[in-house]
Amino acid sequence: MIQQICGIQQNTQTFIKKTTQSTDVDFQKVLTQNLEKLETDEVDESIYSDIANKYDIRNATFEEVKEIAQGLYGAGAITGLDLAILTFDYDRATRDIKQAANGLTSPNFTMYETNADTFGHRDWIAEFEARAAKDRQYGNFIGNANKNKIISILQLLER
């Protein structure tokens, strides 16, 4: 009986080792392919000047930022994560929080870090700088890194 258990244990360990090696090889292959793709994918740099000529990133509405983000994403200049960060709707999130809090929030509560003008125009570089600072303050280093990447992208769009 003990020999059977030892045999089963050995077979299990051998199976786990083969599976792990196979998974590691597959992972390395996918990682290598993705890194090669990133190195070979070229972005037409004119996308930044085209967008900068059409929009003022220091004085844009959220709708305009969504259009900018879609243009950059369509050109392959930003990732899906970048697109998600740029197009997350803070107005909607603020409304949802206020509704869920059932009157327990301040009437002035907002998730934005900076103020917009009466037409909804905002300095998006300043907004993301403030968001990055807040992430850093709270120890959200991944969020901070993501926001800093967005800042770098938006700075390419400055007029």
**pLDDT value at 11 more than 80:** no
pLDDT at 21: 62
Please tell me the distance from the alpha carbon of residue 5 to that of residue 159, in angstroms, as a whole number. Answer: 72
Here the tokens at position 59 are 């004085």
**pLDDT value at 143 more than 60:** yes
Higher pLDDT: 33 or 90? It is 90
pLDDT at 77: 96
H, E, C per residue of the chain: CHHHHHHHHHHHHHHHHHHHHHHHHHHHHHHHHHHHHHHHCCCCCHHHHHHHHHCCCCCECHHHHHHHHHHHHHCCCCCHHHHHHHHCCHHHHHHHHHHHHCCCCCCCCCCCCCCCCCCCCECHHHHHHHHHHHHHHCCCHHHHHHHHHHHHHHHCCCC
Here the tokens at position 67 are 């259009």
Of the listed ranges 9-13, 34-38, 99-103, 132-136, the least confidently predicted one is 34-38
pLDDT at 31: 57
Return the axis-axis angle of helices 141-155 and 80-87, rounded to nearest 10°. 90
pLDDT digits (tens, 9 = 90+) for 108-134: 999 999 999 999 999 999 999 999 999
Give this prediction's pTM.
0.72
pLDDT digits (tens, 9 = 90+) for 14-68: 666 665 565 666 656 655 655 554 454 578 889 999 999 999 999 999 999 999 9
**pLDDT value at 156 more than 90:** yes
pLDDT at 30: 57
pLDDT at 38: 46
